[in-house]
Amino acid sequence: MVGNAWKRNNDRAGLAFATNGIAKDHILYLSHGGLGFVLGDGGLKYGRENLLDSYYTVHIWRGIYLRPDFQYVVHPGYNEARGPVFVPSFRVYVEF
């Protein structure tokens, strides 16, 4: 969404939802203690990973932008025993 509606033409706002899953064989491997690059702690109780992401990019001056970002993740790592988690972040973007 562009900021024209609230008279901030260079600002941007966004909202996204994603849902992710893994293959049945991968679920079985992880539930039996298998390890992966990011996943695997030996106690997988499988659940789809759902993510809600929102951001707002603020144009400060010329090529300088600030962007707070918020993510809410349900069943991180495809594990119902984990989360939900709230992940805030902040970015600074500078154009030369």
Instruction: Identify the pLDDT of residue 33.
Output: 84
The number of distinct structural domains making up the chain is: 1
pLDDT digits (tens, 9 = 90+) for 37-82: 777 776 788 999 999 999 999 999 999 999 999 999 999 989 998 8
Question: What percent of the chain shows pLDDT beyond 90?
Answer: 62
Single pTM value for the model: 0.80
Average pLDDT of the chain, as a whole number: 91
Domain extent, residue 61, equals 3-70+78-94
Statement: residue 17 has pLDDT above 80: yes
Instruction: Identify the pLDDT of residue 45.
Output: 87
Name which residue leads in pLDDT, 34 or 94.
94
Q: Which long-range contacts (CB under 8 A, 24 or more apart) does 11-17 make?
A: 11/56, 11/57, 11/58, 11/59, 12/55, 12/56, 12/57, 13/54, 13/55, 13/56, 13/57, 14/53, 14/54, 14/55, 15/52, 15/53, 15/54, 16/52, 16/53, 16/54, 17/50, 17/51, 17/52, 17/53
